[in-house]
Amino acid sequence: MNNKLLAIAQFIDKQDKVLDMACDHAYLAIYLKKNHLCTNVYASDISESALNNARNNIKKAQVVIKTYLSDGFENITDADINTVIISGVGTKTIESILTTIPPNITKFIISSNNHLPQLRTLMQEKGFYNIEEKTICEHDKYYSIIKFTKTNKKDSPFILKYGKTTNLDYYNYLITKNKSLLKTIPITKIKTRFKLKKELKDIKKILKERK
């Protein structure tokens, strides 16, 4: 269990019936089961080799976790599942997974590798609201973990773009990154420079508000 998986586990509630989608090694599902952090937990993956690895780890851990070889929700038959974890894949993959969402799913916990504004917008369009967002740093890389719940609530375009994390180090990192990027862009690229400067101004505003 690394820091990212532990942070995801903190978003799980006792009454949740969890599907760890794209489970890979199933360490998270095993951790949830062994520590009785939810009512039940399932694990799925599109890769048969990854799922076999997960099954071996589940057996070694001496816990009972039902597994599915499935592309997204395609082969998931347990209608009692209400919470889905998706971690370690990109937003484009998540979009393809969420083409259809079973009506019994009321919560998603997602950590995408990229394109977070698009992810937040996608989930809002699907009727899920960003109720909480955490950003952690592991091995000098930042990961955002977002808890979405089924509701008609909406976020502003500003929040969809920049999120809700209170990790000030993350925003300082973004400022440093954008400043470095700005130095590499020629003065002739007026629109690109203007966009970056606007983003820097926005991030500084968030940093000030959340201190």
**Count of C-beta atoms within a 10 Å radius of residue 144:** 22
Query: Phi and psi dihedrals of 188, rounded to 5?
Result: -70, -20
Residue 211 has pLDDT above 80, yes or no: no
Residue 65 has pLDDT above 80, yes or no: yes
Entry pTM: 0.93
What Å distances lie between residue 195 and 85, 161, 171, 205, CA to CA?
33, 13, 17, 15
Task: Quickly list H helices, the chain.
Answer: 3-9, 27-34, 48-61, 91-97, 116-125, 157-162, 168-184, 190-210
Q: Which residues contact 97 (CB under 8 A, 6 or more apart)?
A: 21, 72, 73, 86, 89
Model confidence pLDDT, tens digit, residues 99-142: 999 999 999 999 999 999 999 999 999 999 999 999 999 988 99
Distance CA 42, CA 187 (A): 53
CB contact burial 67-91 (16+ within 10 A = b; e otherwise): bbebebbeebeeeebbbbbbbbbeb
Residue 151 has pLDDT above 90, yes or no: yes
Mean pLDDT, the chain, rounded, equals: 95
Kindly tell me the burial class for residue 95, based on how many C-beta atoms sit within 10 Å of its own C-beta (0-12, 13-18, 19 or more). Answer: middle
The CATH architecture annotation of domain 3-154 reads 3-Layer(aba) Sandwich (3.40)
Distance CA 47, CA 73 (A): 14
Give the start-to-end residue ranges of the domains of the chain. 3-154, 169-210
Q: Which residues contact 3 (CB under 8 A, 6 or more apart)?
A: 136, 138
